[in-house]
Chain A
Amino acid sequence: MASRAGQISAALLGLAVAALTLGSAAMTAGHATDWSLGPADGAALRFTLLQAALSAAVSGALAIPLARALARRRFPGRSLLIRLLAAPFLLPVVVAVLGLLAVFGRAGPVNAALAAAGLPPLSIYGLHGVVIAHVFLNLPLVTRMLLQGWQAIPAERFRLAEALGMPPPSQFRHLEWPMLRSLLPGAFATVFLLCLTSFAVALTLGGGPKASTLELAIYQALRFDFDLGRAALLAAVQFGLCAAVTLATLRLTPGGVFGPGVDRAGGVSSPPGWRHGADALAIGLAVAFLLGPLLAVMLRGLPGLAGLPLTVWPALGRSVALSIASALLASTAALTLALAVTRGQSWLEIAAMLPLSASGLVMGTGLFLAVHPTISPESLALPVTLMVNATMALPYLFRLLLPEARALRADYGRLSESLGLTGVARLRLVTLPRLARPLGFGTGLAAALSMGDLGVIALFAGERTETLPLLVQRLMGAYRMEAAAAAALVLVAASFALFWAFDRWGAARAAT
């Protein structure tokens, strides 16, 4: 039996996350003098829902063939490629947008090729541009979630299917589809909620005020109009949507699917013939789509590297320390919550998903209001950023860990209990080895997300707390685009190195 202390600590953690997200919004609301939504807020809500739903659907639809191709093919450099493909998710938003524009923009190679072929130019600005950018940013995450699903199907199920003479379509129906059914709702919800709070991408690529999102309205309310009531109302709308989507996911996700296997590698077979070509095409297209803009980011950054201001290095040090600390905090919290959910404290699932719909700006403002009269905000800049970043990364980690934690509970729970394996021993011998892969990947993601985050630090930062994303923004704001591109390259390289280290740690420790 799970210890009482474990349940209580998980519940407290869930409450702390809810307090940070809902509480900060309530704090903002508490300072409001007026409560009303603007006339354009309805249109912003509609556009926000539309782009988020499209982005999530397209990301999911494209991730299935890509993850399947990666799961059933073995080729040199495969594991390197899988790690590299995660990179877009790690990019700071402004960098990602500029990278995409370098490829798809007016002066980019895609339009150059179209012009050479005598075709009309393609404009990336509009709803489709917003969706392209969100797919670019989120396809890697969904692909990794699904790839883990394929890896989690016990190899002997595929052996059995082959021994029964099942062709690939039947294998898909009996083995792969049930796995997808259990993972896709969660993946869809994650991307949907992530796109719900989109601001810079939607506005820059949306082509105008038609593409206004709720988050922009929050920004406007807080920064320009100082209308705390409207900001809090909009934040409440975002939280409501988040809770609804998470509850729907909960209902749509079936329970344990496969039962335990004997952990033999091999897994899904590699069908020959045209399917080989189709898989190669899926991987090739994904590489071009995901790595092209990344290459552009690198090429833009290289020329300015020599002329970087010296403040880059202390800012980098601060960012790295901050992101490692918040990644470790986030993974401990996510593991605690995911294990608690599998033990039946299912309300914690909503608590763990809440931060996805939290506006960083509202959270920052709420915390600012909470600490300001008593403590100087600058002296708290780094601890607050650490806490907020860990909270913001929690849902991804949680989403990655939960399916595996459920499988672990279904497959090994009874065995562990009959052996009397509890507490630290169970964590060390069963839980950590079985969950090492998603834990390593998730911690890596959390570290990288924290590296790229700008939201909260900008509100609290003083002279001596500048992080690298803030420096990139300051350089861009002072005409120094070349130095900004170089600093962004340093940022991306550091994010990726952190992600790589954690992901490798997880893969090396994984019990399978």
Chain B
Amino acid sequence: MKTIPLAAGFACLATLAAADTPVLDVYTYDSFAAEWGPGPAIEKGFEATCGCDLRFVTAGDGAALLARAQLEGAASAADVVVGIDTNLTAAARATGLFAPHGQPAVTGLPMAYDDADFLPFDWGWFAFVHNKSLANPPKSFEELAASDLKIVIEDPRSSTPGLGLVMWVKAAYGDRAAEIWAGLKDNIVTVTPGWSEAYGLFLEGEADMVLSYTTSPAYHLIAESDDSKAAAAFGEGHYMQVEVAGKLAASDQPALADAFLAYLVSDAAQNVIPTTNWMYPANPLTAGLPKGFETLIQPEKSLLMAQDEAGALRDAAVAEWQAALAK
């Protein structure tokens, strides 16, 4: 446990004292490295075999993470970055900071995903989460728009789920996306800066539904023994969020970085993902998913734009969203 309140200076001294063990710096988002996230178990598991010191450096969310790597550029201390959202991989690749990961493709995604630079370590479907007491949850965006249900969504300009929703509507409706947003306008109670504000508002009863993940009800069921939440299955399919890890080209520990990426998609690390990150593992688990996950909806159709397409469409799709809602 890292509960001893060491001042920053002491942290430096401690690093110096242990200078003979190699240090692997892993940049990740906040909730990955939190004590209740997958970070601690993965750190313990990897350190047991690597003979190294794994250090997590955290930066906000998936977008902040990439910004941090870009701020530091080639001088970055980072060896591996864990937690970039697929909607941002095109931008990440364009920085030229990342090197091929060299791992075999993962097999646990509903569609083939093979990328030489970025290795998926978990994924999920976006979905609108509601209380089971809600009568007749909508089965599509059109039904939602036609209803008088109230929803809370995240802003695509400041959060990755918000961006995921914009891409979802775009992937499902193409040129009709603006029309769908215009229809949804009177259902939207408000747009929050991030996922946690939106989910908090939903739990406080400010809205009937919130944009989250199909796996959100599993948290309430498994961690809180509360089976009152469900995700609405949409007929047009559900857009996916795939979270990827990448190896920095300028890493001073390339061999350790490779070993870490291999460990990240191994059964031991993947087993930790479902009940800490509340996402699906990127490789099938030998022991299967934890009890409770079988109650979740299984979308029949998965949507995900090709990375280049997502990168090219992003700005226009966000502008379309903004124009439709600002009217």
Residues of A within 8 A of B (CB): 39-40, 43, 94, 97-98, 101-102, 105-107, 123, 125, 199-200, 203-210, 212, 216-217, 219-220, 222-224, 226, 309-311, 314, 317-318, 365, 368-369, 372-373, 376, 378-383, 458-459, 461-465, 470, 473-474, 476-481, 484
Contact = CB atoms under 8 A, between A and B. Distances in A.
B4 interface: yes
A474 B30 contact: yes
B191 to A, nearest CB: 5
A464 B2 contact: yes
Nearest to B14: A464
Contacts of B58: 461-463
Given A314-B3, A479-B278, A224 B150 contact: no
Contact of B191 (A123, A209, A223): A209
Interface in B56-109: 56-61, 63-64, 66-68, 70-72, 75, 77, 88, 91
A378 B155 CA distance: 29
Contact of A481 (B8, B66, B199): B199
Chain B interface size, under 10 / 10 to 19 / 20 to 34 / 35 or more: 35 or more
Given A106-B205, A204-B193, A209 B59 contact: no
Nearest to B160: A224
Closest 8 CB pairs of A and B: A107-B205, A476-B196, A314-B5, A220-B157, A209-B322, A477-B31, A477-B196, A208-B325
B197 A200 contact: yes
B206 A226 contact: no
Contact of A206 (B1, B59, B190, B204): B190
A317 B319 contact: no
Interface in B33-73: 33-37, 55-61, 63-64, 66-68, 70-72
A476 B31 CA distance: 9
B223 A479 contact: yes
B11 A379 contact: yes
A369 B195 contact: no
A383 B75 CA distance: 22
Contacts of B77: 376
A465 B8 contact: yes
Contacts of A97: 197
Nearest to B64: A223
A458 B326 CA distance: 30
A479 B157 CA distance: 22
A311 B1 CA distance: 9
A224 B75 contact: no
Nearest to A39: B319
Contacts of B31: 474, 477-478
Given A220-B157, A378-B57, A463-B57, 10 more contacts: A106-B189, A125-B189, A204-B191, A216-B158, A310-B3, A458-B60, A463-B33, A464-B2, A473-B30, A474-B30
A436 B83 CA distance: 50
Contacts of B163: 224
B200 interface: yes
Given A226-B70, A462-B58, A481-B200, A209 B192 contact: no
Contacts of A220: 157-158
Contacts of B88: 224
A424 B194 CA distance: 50
B34 to A, nearest CB: 5
Contacts of B188: 207-208
Given A223-B64, A311-B35, A379 B12 contact: yes
Contacts of B17: none
B205 A125 contact: no
Contacts of A310: 1, 3
Interface of B: 1-9, 11-12, 30-31, 33-37, 55-61, 63-64, 66-68, 70-72, 75, 77, 88, 91, 150, 155, 157-158, 163, 185, 188-197, 199-201, 203-207, 216, 219-220, 223, 278, 319, 321-322, 325-326
Given A209-B321, A379-B9, A476-B200, A203 B71 contact: no
Given A43-B326, A314-B5, A479-B219, A208 B190 contact: yes
25 contacts: A107-B206, A200-B197, A204-B190, A204-B201, A207-B189, A208-B185, A208-B326, A216-B193, A223-B64, A224-B63, A224-B157, A226-B67, A372-B71, A373-B75, A376-B12, A379-B12, A382-B8, A383-B8, A458-B60, A463-B2, A476-B199, A478-B36, A479-B216, A480-B36, A481-B200
Nearest to A373: B75
B35 A309 contact: yes
A204 B158 contact: no
Contacts of A372: 71-72, 75
B206 A105 contact: yes
Contacts of B207: 106
A204 B202 CA distance: 13
A366 to B, nearest CB: 11
A110 B204 CA distance: 15
A368 B73 CA distance: 12
Nearest to B71: A368
Contacts of B192: 203-204
A209 B199 contact: no
B327 to A, nearest CB: 9
Given A39-B319, A220-B157, A464 B8 contact: yes
A439 B191 CA distance: 39
B110 to A, nearest CB: 24
A102 B157 contact: no
A25 to B, nearest CB: 15
Contacts of A210: 325-326
Contacts of A309: 35-36
A27 to B, nearest CB: 11
A459 B189 CA distance: 30
Contacts of B195: 477
B3 A203 contact: no
Given A223-B158, A372-B72, A203 B191 contact: yes
Nearest to A483: B36
